[in-house]
Amino acid sequence: MPDGLVFSASFAIDGPVILVHGGAWDIPDGAVEDHRDGLKTALAAGRRSLASGHSAVDVAADVVASMESHGAFDAGRGAMLNQDGRAQLDAGIMDGSCLDYGAVIAVERLKNPIRVARRLMDAGNGQVRILAGEGAERFAVAEAFTLIDNVDLISERERDRFEALRDRIGDVHTSQSFLPGVADRRSGGGHDTVGCVVRDARGHVAAATSTGGTPFKPPGRVGDSPLPGSGFYADGEAAVSCTGWGEAIAAVVLAHDVVRRILDDEDLELAMTSRLQAMHDRIRNPDGDGARGGLIALSGSAVAWAYSTPRMARAIWAPGLGTVHLEL
Ligand code: GLY
């Protein structure tokens, strides 16, 4: 791919719509079918939720929970493992009609972190919006969620990836050889963070994002996904969910930047592609490569996706349009 090139498309849709992504990175050919199935299953969950009359934010939680449970993605079950060989998950969600949001960070015993983030929006009563680690899990228990064993989040695929990285990079507990981010860059600079943006029948919008973060990340590392404004944002009729190199996305506060431009009446697709290009031009990893990622977004009258990685898993559903599984 030419350096910095951004792929994008937009669709004119002003009614209910669900747009979902399953990560922007160099998705291997052998993983494409599994990704398609995960996107299809998530859209079906979203359609059922919309048909039940749920609000955009509840539909967004249902869609992302489906992807967390599917196993194809770097979120929930199937998350990439940290240096301790544990799944450590982040998730965030936001309601554009009121700017309420909720997020959980570095949780290890929640089957569906996005559902706890969603509960926090209500139970936190505006006083608590983000909870990390054990505090988030204690909140979940108090709200009648069941804690699971971390091992139940670990797939064979990710166990194998972890062991291969540990063999290559070395045991970080006994050596100083590990540089944060080196595994991520070598694995194609991306991963399977999931997310969605939703517009419901009342015109309310929501954004949600969930991730296991980067492969072989240091325990406690936090990327963009649970940070409102970085990995997700929704305001008024605009909503954005991001995926890609979390440290870069957070540095340019990508989701909020795009939402702000949409609300300022910039062209939706141009707002997305110009921000991805700007992130690529401005932020370089230690190998000198420009930062890459992808995002999905909706405005009052359109939806769009854009990515600067070799592939991005994404799909869309709207009444009349049906389910469109875009090419991976
Ligand atoms: N974009 C997800 C992460 O960097 O954690």
pLDDT per residue over 6-24, tens digit each? Answer: 899 999 999 999 999 999 9
Give the domain range for residue 277: 7-101+154-325
Exactly one of 41, 193, 209, 211 is catalytic; name it: 193
User: From start to end of 223-286, where are the E strands?
Assistant: 232-235, 238-244
Q: Which atom from ligand 1 is nearest to the alpha carbon of 244?
A: 1
Segment 239-295, tens digit of pLDDT: 999 999 999 999 999 999 999 999 999 999 999 999 999 999 999 988 888 999 999
Query: Is residue 280 one of the residues assigned to a domain?
Result: yes
Query: Is residue 240 one of the residues assigned to a domain?
Result: yes
202, amino acid identity: R
Mutate to test the pocket of ligand 1, among 211, 252, 276, 285 (most ligand atoms within 8 A of CB): 211
Confirm or reject: Cβ of 225 under 6 Å from ligand 1. Answer: yes
Mutate to test the pocket of ligand 1, among 194, 227, 249 (most ligand atoms within 8 A of CB): 249
Segment 20-64, tens digit of pLDDT: 999 998 888 888 999 999 999 999 999 999 999 999 999 999 999
Query: Is residue 229 one of the residues assigned to a domain?
Result: yes
Q: Which of 224, 180, 215 is nearest to 92 (CA)?
A: 224
Burial of 278 (0-12, 13-18, 19+ CB in 10 A): middle
From CA 113, how far away is CA 127, in angstroms rounded? 19
Query: Is residue 258 one of the residues assigned to a domain?
Result: yes
Say whether 211 is catalytic. Answer: no
Query: Is residue 29 one of the residues assigned to a domain?
Result: yes
**What is the model's pLDDT at position 133?**
98
Residue 51: count of CB within 10 angstroms of its CB: 10
- The rounded percent of the chain whose pLDDT value lies above 70 is 91
The residue-averaged pLDDT of 135-159 equals 97
Contact 25, 311 (CB under 8 A): yes
128, amino acid identity: V
Contact 255, 266 (CB under 8 A): no
Query: Is residue 118 one of the residues assigned to a domain?
Result: no
Most confident of 30-39, 137-146, 286-295, 311-320: 137-146
Q: Which long-range contacts (CB under 8 A, 24 or more apart) does 282-291 make?
A: 282/252, 283/245, 283/248, 283/251, 283/252, 285/181, 285/185, 285/189, 285/245, 285/248, 286/179, 286/181, 286/185, 287/185, 289/185, 289/189, 290/3, 290/4, 291/244, 291/245, 291/248, 291/249
Please give the distance, rounded to the nearest whole angstrom, from the Cα atom of residue 174 to the centre of ligand 1: 26
Number of domains in the chain: 1
Can you give the CATH number for the domain in which 281 is found? 3.60.20.30
